[in-house]
Amino acid sequence: MLKPEVGSYSGLKGQTKSAADALHLRKEIIMERDKYKNLRYRLMESETWPLEYMFKFITPNKDGNVEQIKALLPEHGKISYKHTSNLAHVAITCVATMQNADEIVEVTEKVGQIEGVIVL
């Protein structure tokens, strides 16, 4: 019977903790890179450019999140806000003419990195 070599894929058994951590980190990086792949694909396949696009986000109403998001949105976009009744959260909508799918994904990725933000 052959034994699997250390480092070969047989689960995480036989790997050191640092190797398991490295594998986990690599998976996270790949997932983050592909997070908006489907959005980009759908935009590229189904739309003509330039396109009027609606960005929608929900964020806790604290730590300057609203201002951070506003700074990342297209300057030429029309922005509107809607607060929850207790003012704990803010829904932010921005309608802007975008030139290509990459512009949309770039804005969405940057806003999605802000802690607590939900991308719709």
DSSP result, 33-52 = HHTTHHHHHHHHHH--SSEE
Q: How many domains does the chain have?
A: 1
* pTM metric for this prediction: 0.70
Domain that holds residue 82: 34-119
| Average pLDDT estimate for 7-15 | 47
Residue 24: inside a domain: no
Residue 9: inside a domain: no
- Summarised one tens digit per residue, pLDDT across range 48-90 is 889 999 999 999 999 999 999 999 999 999 999 999 999 999 9
- Length, in residues, of the chain: 120
| Average pLDDT estimate for 94-99 | 96
Lowest mean pLDDT among 22-36, 40-54, 60-74: 22-36
Residue 23: inside a domain: no
CATH number for the domain harbouring residue 62 = 3.30.70.1150
Instruction: Please tell me which residue, 71 or 17, carries the higher pLDDT value.
Output: 71
3-state secondary structure of 54: strand
